[in-house]
Each structure stands twice: as C-alpha cells, then as structure tokens.
Amino acid sequence: MKDKTIIGPFKQVITMADLPLEGPINDAALPVRENAGVVCVDGRIEEIKPWQELEKEKGIEKEIINEPCVLLPGFIDSHTHMCYAGSRARDYALRTAGVSYLEIAKQGGGILDTVRKTREASKEELKENLKMRVQAHLQRGVTTSEVKSGYGLNVSDELKMLRVIKEVNQEEKLDLVPTCLAAHTLPPEFSNHKEYLEYLVKELLPKIKEEALAQRIDIFVEESAFSAADANDYLEKAKSMGFDIIIHADQFSTGASSLASKIGALSAEHLEASTDKEIKLLAKHHVVANVLPGASLGLGMGFAPARKLLDEGCCVVISSDWNPGSAPMGDLLTQAAILGAYEKLSAAEIFAGLTFRAANVLKLNDRGILAKGMLADMIAFPTSDYRDILYHQGQLGPVLIWKKGVACCLP
Ligand code: NIG
Ligand code: FE
C-alpha cells in the first residue's frame, strides 16, 4: 500500500525548480506557488497543486497547516567539520585579543588541538557529539549535511571518524554525506608533507574504498597545511582511485583555485582570498564555488567574493563550515543571510546556494527542489512572504520540518 499524504495549505511554496545551476538569479525568477499544497507518496513529492483543488480530494490523509507558512526545500549544508571532540574557546579568546588563526596554529593550538581531543575521544563520545549537532542542524532546517573527517590524521582515527559519520547517518533522520579530509594538516608524527600524503594514499584510501566510507577527498591547501604542488600529486592519485575531489582553497592565500581548475575538482571551498584571476578560472572550468560565511564570522575576516563569483558565472553554494576552530556557530541560515547583506545577493541566489546548488555539489540529484519525484525534504517558515526569512537574519526559523515526507518533532 502506498503511503500518500496531502500537506498544506501554504501561503507560498518556493519550489526552486527550473532555475540555472550557475550565475546570477533575480528574485523575479523565483518560482512561487501561492496558496498551494504538496502531495507526498512514500517520502517523495507526487505533485504541487493549488489548495482549492487539493482540499476537495477524498480518501487521502491530509496534514493541515493551520498558520500561514512559506514552504522551501530543506537546506543542504555541503561543507562541515561537525564531527569533533572538545572546544577551542581558548583559541577564540586569543583571536579576539588579536592573535591570528595561523599564529595560533603555529603555537600548537588550532587544528592540532582538536586532533588531540578527537583522538582521545571514544567512538561513542564522538557519536554523541555529532548527533547533538546533527539534531541542532535539523531543527534549523538543514535536512542533508556533508561531514568531513580530518581530526584523526592517522589511519585508525580517520577511520574512527568516518565510521562515526556512517553510523550517525544510519541512526539519525538527517542524511550525512562523508568526506575524507585526512589531508587537513601535518600530524605531529610526520615531518614531511609528501611522506604523510603518500602514507594516506597507501594505507588509508584503500581502506576507505573497501569499507565504502567516503566517495569524496578534500585537502587544505595553505601555508600552514599543504602546498599546491604536494596536493596535486595526492589528488591525482585519489582521482585515479575514483574519488571526487574537493579543495579547501584560497582561505588566506591564493594558489589552490588554479589547482582546483586544473585537476577537475568538483568544488573550491572558502575563497575569501580569491582575486579576479581565481574567480575567472573557477568560472571557466565550472568548479563550484562553495563559500563559508561562518568562517569569516568566526575569524573576523572578510567574506568570499560571492557577488563577483556569481556575476562571472559560477555555481555559488553557501555552507556553514561548522567546526570548533574557525566556524563554531553552525547556524547556516543566519550566516547565509548576513553574507547576503554584505555581498548583495538576491534571496533567490541565497536560497539556491542552500538548496539545489548545494545538492549539485554533493552529487545528489534527488533533493534541493520541490518537484515531482524529489524527496519530500521540506521546511515551513511562519510567514506569508518569503522575504521575511532573510530579513530576520536567522531569527525566524522553520516551525515545521519534513524529512522524506515525515514531520520531525521540534522541541
Ligand atoms: O575550513 N581551514 C581549514 N579547516 C577548517 C578549520 C578547522 C579548524 O580550525 O579546526 C576550515 O575553516
Ligand atoms: Fe572547512
């Protein structure tokens, strides 16, 4: 028996259908269905129709929405490091007192501090931490999230992180997409970057394949992490093993965007330091630009040039970068709204970066749009006008959230 439900009415259904994958989008192009409802069958969308027609349907279960709401596809966070143990409040206090992120890393704080705590944590502890963050994400309307490893930096602890991500994905409603970021920084056991990357290719990547723990490989290219030349060899090898390539690029200095363009990376992520040259390259090579306003807010630094990236024709995706160091906030909608205010983005461009464009960078073609056949991952905001959502800069959250057609309980 098919499980069929009619959900509505909604004042506006913002379907995000039929919009371009790359480049600017005007709000006038936003597909807004007024006074409509959604028919869901077995967790997927069957159709979106005027409520006048749907309310007459007999013999089908109806989930009636009693307050005026705007419906959007569930948000997709395509760049996070939310599997970790411990806090870096000390780093944050040092930074607000004027010490730079890279200086803190040089003093043994930064990523390596979280590596120590994550290695010490049991699998159960890590799972609990990740579950807590996954639930917070879901309550704020994120229905799919990428999660990176990268605080293990050896075979056993990287595998521990990826297994935790896999298990939490199976146990929680939110869908998680894992990425291996074992090339996050040089671990204390190694003194040579090349040797560490060779060790990963030999010892870790085959195990990840064997256990199907991740399909995506990421690397942090930066002065404090890996050079573009070392990254190139590592990524070529990962590519030949069949992995998709993602690069932490141009966060503090440029160089990695050209590598991303040359090597055929799916996306270059961060881009705060990108100049016109990098922007042109990314657009030309159709490398997705994943911008991370949460890191700018956490570090007190400028935003990635999202406006210029869009105007040059890039697919711009917006993610939280949720991590204990540079982006501890984790509130994707707030961050995207603030980025929009600074970078002059239309609501359509912001929502695109949080929905179908984010689905694209994760290679998920079953979500991010409300249309026939798509997963019924949907979020409803208590307003009659979609513009209210960004206007409140994250303070107007969703009141109803459906994951695969099933309403999630909010506390
Ligand atoms: O994306 N830039 C490198 N990695 C993370 C920060 C990780 C950390 O500081 O723990 C980022 O910002
Ligand atoms: Fe990151």
| Domain co-membership, 81 together with 170 | yes
Nearest residue (by CA) to ligand 1, atom 8, is 325
Nearest residue (by CA) to ligand 1, atom 12, is 326
Residue 83 has pLDDT above 70, yes or no: yes
Q: Which of 326, 329, 335 to mutate to test the pocket of ligand 1 (most atoms within 8 A of CB)?
A: 326
Task: Please tell me if the CB atom of residue 140 comes closer than 6 angstroms to any atom of ligand 1.
Answer: no
CA 49 to ligand 1 center in whole angstroms: 44
Task: Please tell me if the CB atom of residue 321 comes closer than 6 angstroms to any atom of ligand 1.
Answer: yes
CA 46 to ligand 2 center in whole angstroms: 36
Of 172, 158, 88, 89, the C-alpha closest to 127 is 172
| Domain co-membership, 272 together with 308 | yes
Task: Please tell me if the CB atom of residue 290 comes closer than 6 angstroms to any atom of ligand 1.
Answer: no
Q: Which residue segment(s) compose the domain that 23 sits in?
A: 4-73+367-408
| Domain co-membership, 224 together with 303 | yes
Residue pLDDT, tens place only, 84-106: 999 999 999 999 999 998 899 88
Closest ligand to residue 222's CA = 1
Task: Please tell me if the CB atom of residue 271 comes closer than 6 angstroms to any atom of ligand 1.
Answer: no
Assign residue 303 the CATH number of its domain: 3.20.20.140
Per the structure, the count of domains in the chain is 2
Tokens read off for 325: 């160091």
| Domain co-membership, 110 together with 228 | yes
Residues 6+ apart with CB under 8 A from 399: 67, 69, 380, 381, 382, 410
CA 324 to ligand 1 center in whole angstroms: 8
| Domain co-membership, 203 together with 84 | yes
What does R_g of the chain's alpha carbons equal in angstroms? 21
% of the chain at pLDDT higher than 70: 99
| Domain co-membership, 138 together with 285 | yes
* Model confidence band, residue 411 (pLDDT cutoffs 50, 70, 90): low
| Domain co-membership, 213 together with 131 | yes
Residues 6+ apart with CB under 8 A from 218: 148, 150, 179, 180, 181, 183, 245, 246, 247, 248, 269
Tell me what the mean pLDDT of segment 331-359 comes to. Answer: 98
Instruction: Write down the pLDDT at residue 1.
Output: 63
Task: Please tell me if the CB atom of residue 274 comes closer than 6 angstroms to any atom of ligand 1.
Answer: no
Query: Which of these ranges, 35-39, 100-104, 176-180, 294-298, has the smallest mean pLDDT?
Result: 100-104
Residue pLDDT, tens place only, 108-131: 789 999 999 999 999 999 999 999
Atom of ligand 1 nearest to the CA of 151: 10
Tell me what the mean pLDDT of segment 196-210 comes to. Answer: 98
| Domain co-membership, 27 together with 66 | yes
Instruction: Write down the pLDDT at residue 105.
Output: 86
Assign residue 40 the CATH number of its domain: 2.30.40.10
% of the chain at pLDDT higher than 90: 96
* Model confidence band, residue 28 (pLDDT cutoffs 50, 70, 90): very high
Q: Which residue, of 346, 361, 376, is where some domain finishes?
A: 361
Task: Please tell me if the CB atom of residue 145 comes closer than 6 angstroms to any atom of ligand 1.
Answer: no
- Percent of residues in the chain assigned helix, strand, coil, to nearest 5: 40, 20, 40
Instruction: Write down the pLDDT at residue 106.
Output: 82
Instruction: Write down the pLDDT at residue 109.
Output: 86
Nearest residue (by CA) to ligand 1, atom 1, is 321
Atom of ligand 1 nearest to the CA of 220: 3
Tell me what the mean pLDDT of segment 322-346 comes to. Answer: 98
Task: Please tell me if the CB atom of residue 185 comes closer than 6 angstroms to any atom of ligand 1.
Answer: no
| Domain co-membership, 48 together with 121 | no
| Domain co-membership, 314 together with 373 | no
| Domain co-membership, 158 together with 294 | yes
Tell me what the mean pLDDT of segment 133-151 comes to. Answer: 98
**Distance between CA atoms of residues 336 and 341, nearest Å:** 9
Strands 61-64 and 175-183: unpaired
Rounded alpha-carbon distances, angstroms, from residue 376 to 30, 38, 382, 386: 19, 9, 19, 19
CB-proximal residues (5 Å) to ion ligand 2: 321
| Domain co-membership, 251 together with 324 | yes
Tokens read off for 12: 């506006």
